Amino acid sequence: MNPARSTILSRLRDAGAHPVSSNNHSYSPWQTDSDEERQQRFVEAMIASHAEVISTKVELLESTLTEVVATKQLKRIAIGKDGEFIHEIQQASGQNDVISFDQDIREWKHELFEQVDAGITHCLAGIADTGTLVLWPSTDEPRTLSLIPPTHVALLKRSTLSNNFAELIRQQAWHIGMPTNAILVSGPSKTADIQQTLAYGAHGPKELIVILIEDR
């Protein structure tokens, strides 16, 4: 056995560690029956994580997106091939240089990493407790679309907000059809690995804009 490994295992044995009973521990996930409280919890958690949340109605989605694109000066935008609000996305982005994710990434990898200002995606759901977006990437909206551009604009329907992660999995019956890849997003990309200094955009979007669509 490796001497270093032997030393570590010896110290662990000599420490006299013993398992702690879990009988006195309980987990009570946050929950509410109020749509307003659920939305408030989600928005507050998102803002606390340095995300921007904009509420709008379904019929105003296109104009809201258009305003976001103009205000944030998003000149080159990557979008998916399909989705519930793809028409609104296309119309709002129409005056700009729009790249649809309908080609092999190897053919436009440089553009995506170096020249695209934002990626716009749909969201499967939101988790109010932690202020989290749930994305299920597909061929219509690949994972790269929300991970590479410096700004991620996420479209989330209010009706898809769940109280907590366990409730979401149960409500949507994830055990029946799990995706090959699920992404949980709680704010912009951030890290404090370097000298314990918090930095945004180190390994993903540095800006997250959530458009919360009041669909009920």
The predicted-structure confidence for 120-165, as pLDDT tens digits, reads as follows 999 999 999 999 999 999 999 999 999 999 999 999 999 999 999 9
According to DSSP, the β-strands at 132-135 and 183-185 are: antiparallel
Distance of CA 209 to the CA centre of its chain: 10
pLDDT at 117 over 80: yes
Q: Taking the mean position of all CA atoms in its chain, how far away is CA 193?
A: 21
> For the whole model, what pTM was predicted?
0.83
Band the pLDDT of 101: cuts 50, 70, 90: confident
User: Any idea what DSSP says for residue 123?
Assistant: -
**Residue 25 banded pLDDT, cuts 50, 70, 90:** low
The structure tokens listed for 199 are 């930095």
Look at residue 194 in the predicted model and tell me its pLDDT: 63
**111 has a pLDDT exceeding 70:** yes
Model pLDDT, residue 198: 67
- 6 pLDDT higher than 80: yes
